Amino acid sequence: MTHLPDKPREECGVFGIYSGPPNDLAWLTYLGLFALQHRGQEAAGMCVSDGDKFHVEKDLGLVTQVFDERRLDSVRLPNARVSIGHVRYSTTGSNLRFNAQPLTTRTNKGILGLAHNGNFVNALEVRQEMLMQGALFATTNDSEVMLNLIARESHMDLVEATAGAMKRLRGGYACVLMSRTQLIGFRDPHGVRPLVIGQRDEDGAWVLASEPCALYAVGAKLIRDVQPGELVWFDREGLHSLIVESKQPTPCSFEWIYFARSDSELDGVDAHASRIRMGEQLAREYPVDADIVVPVPDSGIGAAIGYARESGIPFDYGLYKNPYAGRTFIAPTQEARELKVKMKLSPTSAVKGKRVILVDDSIVRGTTSRQIVNLLREAGATEVHFRVSSPPIKHPCFYGIDTAARKELVSSTHSIEEVRAMIGADSLAFISERGLREAVGGSGLCLACFNGEYPAGTPLLNDVDKLALEV
């Protein structure tokens, strides 16, 4: 990964394309996934069908590692019409390879491929019920529960059965699903996870993706977001839509704080512009007298520009980021984690003798933040004021973000002053929830990791116990 080790991690990015006239969909899906690589670096995969053949390839690794020329060729179909793809950041486990997506299965509706981003909070409950009814589960992947629900309704067609499954499952999710002839996309009733629709001018091909950048990568324009609770499908007649279930929209605020690429617009809100507004808001909420505003690259850049603009304090590059630092790095000793930060970031002359306002998007464990503050001091910064463009993270995410276990979340167990002391900053301030809401704008936001209010429910605890017993 090129992300710093101590950031929340998106679990997935999804992509789908339905092409009227045949197209090299393996190649277009490759481009789309490449543009979504920031959403998951541990596995990548795709399915391609021409209405008859149905090819699938997936493996651990970056898109460019999984799909070398030989392997991309192996999924290519000259008359391809439908394709979906997936990039995954996966939590640890011994069977990582088997959990790579898209998940494919043969059902009474023919062969299906599913790629999903997010989590179903009642997946274990449903899974347990289906196991007792004689179902098999090849993986520990939530997606398989969705596919079993779809397959079970042998009297319904694929769209109906998918709508039925959406009603049975709760949580925050955005999925793409394909049969040999259809592309389907759907988003949870709260719209926690993002999904956008695009179309190519040159041939009218329809595209679904977690972020608009993947649309642009394949020459498509952004048409609109899939609505919360909406099910869309594409076939020879074009785009169809069904609102399965509609609730108060609460898209994930972290998409704007950190996850989404700065060239993305989601649910009508531009990521880069909102980050600048967060920085401006932060400058209004927590001003401080200093000489320069320095971002933690690359996550703090937008907010740092905003902070600098609002405060009038010059923006500068105080930290060089080694572009090769994301590569697998051998670290034989205990000092490994500390070394990783040091090999990735190093202070420039800009901070020497300066009072520095250091801007980042979030603090999770605080360990990396402490090292960065330390690097700046060693390089001669006389003061370091830490400003964070998200509120303190105190609660785990159940909708597809890997924040860290609750006890590792430094803000869950420590006051802001305690965190400040730990990271060694002269001052520390987080944007307020209200300030964040204003900076993002829009009608509603999921702020569960800050305030513990989970709009789409939480898992039953005894599901976790069952998991321990069963899997």
- Residues annotated catalytic, as ranges: 12
Which residues line the annotated binding site for [4Fe-4S] cluster? 252, 397, 446, 449
The secondary element (H helix, E strand) that includes residue 72 is helix 69-75
Nearer Cβ to its own copies (288/325) = 325
- Structure tokens given for 221: 């324009």
| CA-to-CA dists, residue 259 to 38, 210, 253, 276, 401, angstroms | 8, 11, 9, 15, 10
Burial class (CB in 10 A: 0-12, 13-18, 19+), 195: buried
- Structure tokens given for 419: 């965190």
Nearer Cβ to its own copies (461/468) = 468
Nearer Cβ to its own copies (263/453) = 263
- 8-state DSSP, 159: H
Nearer Cβ to its own copies (135/242) = 135
CA-wise closest residue to 97 among 134, 141, 136, 130: 141
Q: How far is the CB of 235 from its own copies (least distance, A)?
A: 19
Q: How far is the CB of 391 from its own copies (least distance, A)?
A: 23
Q: Beta-carbon neighbour count of residue 71 at 10 Å?
A: 15
Nearer Cβ to its own copies (138/421) = 138
Q: How far is the CB of 297 from its own copies (least distance, A)?
A: 9
Q: How far is the CB of 8 from its own copies (least distance, A)?
A: 17
Look-up: residue for tokens 């909420």? 285
| CA-to-CA dists, residue 211 to 35, 155, 226, 248, angstroms | 9, 35, 11, 21
Q: How far is the CB of 394 from its own copies (least distance, A)?
A: 29
**SS3 call for 65:** helix
Q: Beta-carbon neighbour count of residue 306 at 10 Å?
A: 27
The rounded distance, in Å, linking the Cα atoms of 397 and 394 is: 10
217: left (phi over 0), alpha (psi -120 to 50) or beta: alpha
The residues pairing with 44 across neighbouring beta strands, listed in sequence order, are 59, 87
Q: Beta-carbon neighbour count of residue 29 at 10 Å?
A: 30
Nearer Cβ to its own copies (107/374) = 107
The rounded distance, in Å, linking the Cα atoms of 123 and 459 is: 8
Q: How far is the CB of 36 from its own copies (least distance, A)?
A: 10
Which residues line the annotated binding site? 252, 299, 360-361, 397, 446, 449
Q: Beta-carbon neighbour count of residue 141 at 10 Å?
A: 21
Which residues line the annotated binding site for Mg(2+)? 299, 360-361
